[in-house]
Amino acid sequence: MTTEPNHMFLHQLKTGGSLNWRACNGSEARNYRNYIDNDFTFSHLEWPKYAWPGGYPIYYVVKDGGVLCADCANQELMRTIDPEDDQFYILAGDINYENNDLYCDHCNKKIESAYGEDDDK
């Protein structure tokens, strides 16, 4: 028996250029498998913590203007994709290049910066 995440994205492999995703929950994903061929893959949704390439730290901006770290975004995954949830619905993500005073509004954890000064110095 295969276990599946509660939320999946369906991605068509043959498309070139930008990725076209279709969000669906686990039961919808299972139903899609009955109608599609091997040109599709299933992947779980996870907000990345670091940009690739480069490994720069990513933070997320939510509908109410707040900031989330990747850990909180992933802990509240279903809320981050719900447009009715102002505190968690993610509008954008960005790299924290130099802001040493950027904190997650949910857990109050400092979001590391790529090039900012270390507090230890």
Residues 20-64 have pLDDT tens digits of 445 555 566 556 555 555 555 555 678 889 988 888 999 999 999
List C-alpha distances in Å: 50 to 53, 55, 71, 84, 96.
Answer: 9, 5, 11, 27, 10
pLDDT range class, residue 110, cuts 50, 70, 90: very high
Question: In whole angstroms, what is the distance from residue 19 CA to residue 14 CA?
Answer: 10
pLDDT reported for residue 105: 97
Question: In whole angstroms, what is the distance from residue 11 CA to residue 42 CA?
Answer: 7
Tell me which residue of 85, 69, 9 sits closest to 45, measured CA to CA: 9
Per the model's pLDDT, the better-predicted residue between 67 and 117 turns out to be: 67
pLDDT reported for residue 83: 87
Contact indicator for 62, 88 with CB cutoff of 8 Å: yes
Instruction: Please name the amino acid found at residue 75.
Output: Q
Residue 11 pLDDT > 50: no
Percent of residues, the chain, with pLDDT higher than 70: 60
pLDDT reported for residue 45: 72
Residues 92-106 have pLDDT tens digits of 999 999 999 999 999
Residue 5 pLDDT > 80: no
